[in-house]
Structure 1
Amino acid sequence: MTFITAAVMTVLCLSISALILMKVHDNRTTVRNRLNHDAAMRATTLLRRDDLPPVHVDPSVAALQVIDPSGRIVSASPTMVGRPPMASFTPPPGVLGAYHTVCQVPGVDDRCMLVSVQRAPRPGGDWMIYAAAPAYPWYVSGQLLAPLLAASALAIALTALGTRRIVITSLKPVEAIRVKLSKITTTDLGHRVPVPQAHDEIHDLARTVNHTLDMLDGAIHRERRFTADASHDLRSPVTAMRTQIEESLSHPDDADWPATARTLLAGVERLHVIVADLMELRRLDADVGAPMTPVDLNELIMRELARRPQGKTLVSDCRPALVRGDRGQLHRMLTNLLDNAERHAVSTIRITLRCENDHAVLAVRDDGSGVPADQREVIFQRFARLAAARAKDAGGSGLGLPIAREIAHHHGGTLTIDDSHQGACFVARIPLLSPPRHHND
């Protein structure tokens, strides 16, 4: 950027300098041509009065010659006495004067001269009066060229230095961000990049990077916690099964092998449930599922209630609600909520479905002991199980409610616990496929 800026400034300065030189050169050339013309006019006046001497001195020009119609030089300035004509061009017909730049004037050093010719009509023919003055070089003079070159060099240097300073200053925050990012590893995500005070694109970049690092840090912490919890929950049934097998093998004759097999089968079933739940969470985390299609939640609820054993009273009050989603995942969310309600309900489970603010609102209530207000978010953490839940179902995995919430989030909705006068009230809100239209009768 510094090089490009300096190159552009160089072209600009040279162009401006060239324009200045051309303008000054034209002005000074015009002035000297006018002096030549005036000298020729004075000689013409003397010629008309027959007062023109053979040697004519005019300090305003460097050389002067008067030539009669026969081509003879009848008068000349001191430097041109005895010299041949300084030029051969004449004014065009009907024009009294003309001028040219001539670079080989007799009696003059190797310098180009501005030569003017003036036609003087006389009886017997036209006389030609030539006057010459040194022509200006393209740079006019060193006194003009030197300041222009100095000013251009100074402007180019200041522009290059200023651009370099601006670029370095602008890139300092980027370098600071790069240095911080180079220190971040998967084992140390505590670093954050510095955010510049100026509210520019780099400021927004730094904030975005820090936000991404926060999300990455949270994801890694969740992954580590998930791995630790999964290892613990998988280790417990495996350890119990191994202990049961070792005890039975140590006293094979006294072991009740059918009872041992039933115990091991229960352990295997629990492992199967945990692994299936883990695979479902992994699919949800990866946002992998079946294509979204229209799903009638009311029909889904009715089918599930029809096939579910009536161990406890199920009361439903559902309205039609069409959403777009994965039918299998929505069914899994419903069954997880109903299974959780059956574990904690004393006698009755109430299911309601209504449309509210462009959302289908599914509520599952039980008449159990409820969930303390400070634990309402804890139970949605993976493998988190409250003491009451462990007492009612020691074989649970602690993944049912987290899976249900992830499914709700996957469909652009939410799953929360609302206040209830008795028991727990789980409320899932899923966006409707099309908002209901209200008609006025």
Structure 2
Amino acid sequence: MSVLVFLGVHDLAMSERQQEIVLVNLHVGRLIRLGTLPPVLPPQKVAAVQVVDETGRIVSATAQMMGKPLMADFAPEDEFGEAHGVTCSVPGHEGTCMNVVVTRYYRDAGDWLIYGADPVVPWYVNPVLVAILGIGSLLVVAATALGTYRIVGRALAPVDSVCRELTEITASDLSRRVPLSAHRGEIRNLAEIVNETLDRLQQAVERQRRFASDAGHDLRSPITAMRAQVEDALMHPEDTDWVKTSESVLVSLDRLQAIVTDLLVMARLDSGEKVAHDYVNVAELVRTEVGRRFRGKRIVLDLQPGVVVSGDRLQLLRLLTNLLDNAERHATSTVTISVRRDGHEAVLEVIDDGEGVKPEQREIVFQRFTRLTAGREKDKQGTGLGLAIARDIAEQHGGRLTIEDSPKGARFVLRMPLLAPRNPA
């Protein structure tokens, strides 16, 4: 900005300097017209003046230019009355560049030329102007910097508050949240996203804590039972039926192994590993699983062909296995399995004719390590993870697993995005 001011002032000063030279030339022209032009001109408002007649002889000049050669070698064209130029070789002013204006004075006997010269205006125009602009620029820069600092400081104050709050939040106090700015904007959006992230983190940590607590409790039970059996046998070895004791320990080991296996499955699901995209025919999957199972209960199939989904075949088989195990455990005599299309969804239903699940408990049964009283009575070796694993697998495949109303027993319904059957060609 200061450079533009300098340029503007410099151009204005140059214009004014040329105008002064022109006025001096006009004044000398008036003396020629009046016939009062002296050989030596009195001091003028410009540094040097010379008057040349039609023969090229210098007939008048200012005192410092007397006896000196012509100050410039240019003249206006015949059709022009004035010419401008800059020369640094004006006699008596060597080393100083001069702004020269040549004015043509018309006479009948021949035109005369009036040369006027004055030093060119320096780039800084005037030292006082330099000082004023320099100080002004510094003040403007300082004011701008201060204003920017204050504006940016106020704008980023919420960010600093968010950062301070985040540094104080630890795993022991995930309930705290970062403050929200009073004004809508990017900073408030950032704080909201941070709070949403903290919500998910808190839920994940609490879920992990509950999981660790429940896993520890369920793992401790078979270990405690085995330890008690072995200690009792060692205290009274002569009265111990070692075969029966070994069988009891094996039962506890089976339960322990089942819990560990389910825990490993849950860990893989929680890790968010990528799901394979196999081409799975749901009806064929059901037939294969039902065909290899021991028929403890009567199984009724209602399978619509061509119901195909995309997913991990092993995981979907694990989901089906868990649902069938649960249905056979609670069924009185019959388990019904149906597969059908419903719009753009593939629907798998597993229905038993047992006591069913109360509406208020339909979500509880999907929680990890949850075993209702009826389930504990019918399967003392259960882990309480089967239905939780089934729902996690369903959600990883973009589906949902719920319990819906049924005239009798429990009706588990799996819904997943449906794919069109492959073209045989």
Q: TM-score, normalised by structure 2?
A: 0.88
Q: Deviations over 1:351-400 (max 9, x none)?
A: 11111131111111112221122211111111111112112212111011
Match of 1:396 among 365, 382, 387: 382
Match of 2:168 among 178, 183, 190: 183
Q: Which moved more, 1:58-67 or 1:233-242?
A: 58-67
Residue 439 of structure 1 aligns with which residue?
none
- 1:422 counterpart SS class: coil
2:209 is aligned with what amino acid?
R
Contact kept, 8 Å, 1:24 with 1:140, in 2: the verdict is no
Q: Deviations over 1:320-365 (max 9, x none)?
A: 2111111111111111111111111112222111111311111111
- 1:253 counterpart SS class: helix
CA 1:304–1:132 in structure 2 vs 1: closer, same or farther (change >3 Å)? closer
1:375 is aligned with what amino acid?
Q
Taking the aligned partners of 1:63 and 1:303, their CA distance within structure 2 comes to 116
CA drift of 1:407 comes to 1.0
2:324 aligned with 1:338, yes or no?
yes
Q: Deviations over 1:273-317 (max 9, x none)?
A: 111111111111123477321011101111222222222222221
Contact kept, 8 Å, 2:48 with 2:65, in 1: the verdict is no
Q: Deviations over 1:74-109 (max 9, x none)?
A: 4445x5585645725341664654344466767789
CA drift of 1:155 comes to 2.9
- 2:141 counterpart SS class: helix
2:115 aligned with 1:140, yes or no?
no
Match of 1:170 among 155, 162, 165: 155
Contact kept, 8 Å, 2:303 with 2:338, in 1: the verdict is yes
2:7 aligned with 1:19, yes or no?
yes
Structure 2: runs of 5 or more not aligned:
none
Contact kept, 8 Å, 1:313 with 1:348, in 2: the verdict is yes
- 1:39 counterpart SS class: helix
* 1:419-430 matched pairs, under 5 angstroms: 419-430=405-416
Residue 38 of structure 2 aligns with which residue?
53
Contact kept, 8 Å, 2:278 with 2:313, in 1: the verdict is yes
Match of 1:307 among 283, 286, 292: 292
2:414 aligned with 1:431, yes or no?
no
2:320 aligned with 1:362, yes or no?
no
Residue 89 of structure 1 aligns with which residue?
73
CA 1:115–1:302 in structure 2 vs 1: closer, same or farther (change >3 Å)? closer
Taking the aligned partners of 1:136 and 1:200, their CA distance within structure 2 comes to 53
* Identical pairs, percent: 47
Taking the aligned partners of 1:99 and 1:332, their CA distance within structure 2 comes to 99
2:98 aligned with 1:98, yes or no?
no
Match of 2:335 among 338, 349, 361: 349
Match of 2:142 among 125, 138, 157: 157
- 1:395 counterpart SS class: coil
Contact kept, 8 Å, 1:413 with 1:431, in 2: the verdict is yes
Structure 1: runs of 5 or more not aligned:
1-12, 437-441
Residue 252 of structure 1 aligns with which residue?
237
2:71 is aligned with what amino acid?
A
Taking the aligned partners of 1:62 and 1:188, their CA distance within structure 2 comes to 86
Match of 2:363 among 371, 377, 402: 377
Taking the aligned partners of 2:239 and 2:74, their CA distance within structure 1 comes to 142
CA 1:85–1:43 in structure 2 vs 1: closer, same or farther (change >3 Å)? farther
* 1:216-255 matched pairs, under 5 angstroms: 216-255=201-240
Match of 1:405 among 373, 391, 400: 391
Residue 267 of structure 2 aligns with which residue?
282
Taking the aligned partners of 2:421 and 2:242, their CA distance within structure 1 comes to 60
Q: TM-score, normalised by structure 1?
A: 0.85
CA 1:86–1:409 in structure 2 vs 1: closer, same or farther (change >3 Å)? same
Taking the aligned partners of 1:378 and 1:172, their CA distance within structure 2 comes to 45
1:253 is aligned with what amino acid?
E
1:215 is aligned with what amino acid?
R
CA drift of 1:404 comes to 0.7
Q: Which moved more, 1:232-241 or 1:34-43?
A: 34-43
CA 1:81–1:214 in structure 2 vs 1: closer, same or farther (change >3 Å)? closer
Residues paired across the two proteins, number? 421
CA drift of 1:422 comes to 1.8
Contact kept, 8 Å, 1:358 with 1:435, in 2: the verdict is no
- 2:16 counterpart SS class: helix
CA 1:103–1:328 in structure 2 vs 1: closer, same or farther (change >3 Å)? closer
CA 1:61–1:240 in structure 2 vs 1: closer, same or farther (change >3 Å)? closer
CA drift of 1:204 comes to 2.2
CA 1:40–1:425 in structure 2 vs 1: closer, same or farther (change >3 Å)? same
Cα RMSD after superposing both structures: 3.1
Q: Which moved more, 1:106-115 or 1:156-165?
A: 106-115
1:318 is aligned with what amino acid?
L
Q: Which moved more, 1:422-431 or 1:90-99?
A: 90-99
- 2:420 counterpart SS class: coil
Contact kept, 8 Å, 1:415 with 1:427, in 2: the verdict is yes
* 1:34-45 matched pairs, under 5 angstroms: 34-45=22-33
Taking the aligned partners of 2:345 and 2:70, their CA distance within structure 1 comes to 104
